[in-house]
Structure 1
Amino acid sequence: MSNSKRQLFQKRRMRVRNKLRKLAGGRPRLSVHRSSKNISVQLIDDVQGRTLASASTLEAALGLKGKNNVEAAAKVGSEIAARAKAAGVEEVYFDRGGFLFHGKVKALADAAREGGLKF
């Protein structure tokens, strides 16, 4: 019985999230979503069940609408770091979802670290 590509992605995503949840220690989750045209990231407090901050290439203020490359990911990463600082968050855990930690996801994480987030 073969699994579809979507089912395999969901399985990988939940495996990553469940492993990270055990190590979270009350820190918010920095969740990344990458589509073919955009990249977005949210800072989520799982205890209260609310989003503390978010950034995306869909925002007109960033001037990256419809761009999904390494440079756009880095800009989104630095923006989420600034918004997290404004929300009073310095330590998070990085939830890459089912995406590989490579390319755009890695660029976003590195820019967020340079912006002052610790994970």
Structure 2
Amino acid sequence: MAGVISRAQSRKRRQARVRRKVVGTAARPRLCVFRSAKHIYAQIIEDTTGTSLVSVSSQNQSVADGLNYTGNVAAAKAVGEAIAKMALEKDIKEVVFDRNGYVYHGRVKALADSAREAGLVF
């Protein structure tokens, strides 16, 4: 069947559309989010050099302590707080948010809101 697009292909299209507009520089690196069924990951990337400055996931022991399940909104909030704390330690205050083709809803929104509350500006 021609014209059938899978869920993954649709996400890749949305990801490319967002990435055209969202670019991380040295002044404002990119906060990129990836979510799987069991975990959520966030990293701050400087696109000019292609380096990852800070990364946190729900698999980290410091984040996963006290959580029953690492694939829910509570885990996303914990990851958002942790990424903001680590970024502020490295003197990164402003970032651009890259939702990575995901809808700004649920875990992605919870991570962004908790990062903002912890001190990141985007």
Same fold flag (TM > 0.5): yes
Counterpart of 1:47? 48
Q: Which runs of 5+ in 1 are unaligned?
A: none
CA deviation digits over 1:75-114, x for unaligned, max 9?
1000000000011100000000111101111010000001
Letter paired with 1:8? S
Using structure 1 for the length normalisation, give the TM-score: 0.91
Q: What TM-score, normalized to structure 2?
A: 0.89
Aligned partner of residue 73 in structure 1, secondary structure: helix
Q: In the TM superposition, what are the counterparts of 1:1-119 in structure 2 within 5 Å? A: 1-21=3-23, 26-62=27-63, 63=65, 64=67, 67-119=70-122
Does structure 2 retain, via aligned residues, the 8 Å contact 1:58–1:65?
no
Q: Which amino acid aligns with 1:36?
A: A
Distance 2:12 2:107 in 1: 20
Quote the sequence identity (%).
45
Matched residue count: 118
TM-fit CA distance, 1:24:
6.3
Deviation, 1:117, is 0.4
Q: CA deviation at 1:61?
A: 2.1
Letter in 1 for 2:71: N
Deviates more, 1:8-17 or 1:65-74: 65-74
C-alpha RMSD of the superposition: 1.8
Distance 2:79 2:58 in 1: 7
Q: Deviations over 1:47-66 (max 9, x none)?
A: 11111101101112222485
CA distance in 2, matches of 1:24, 1:93: 9
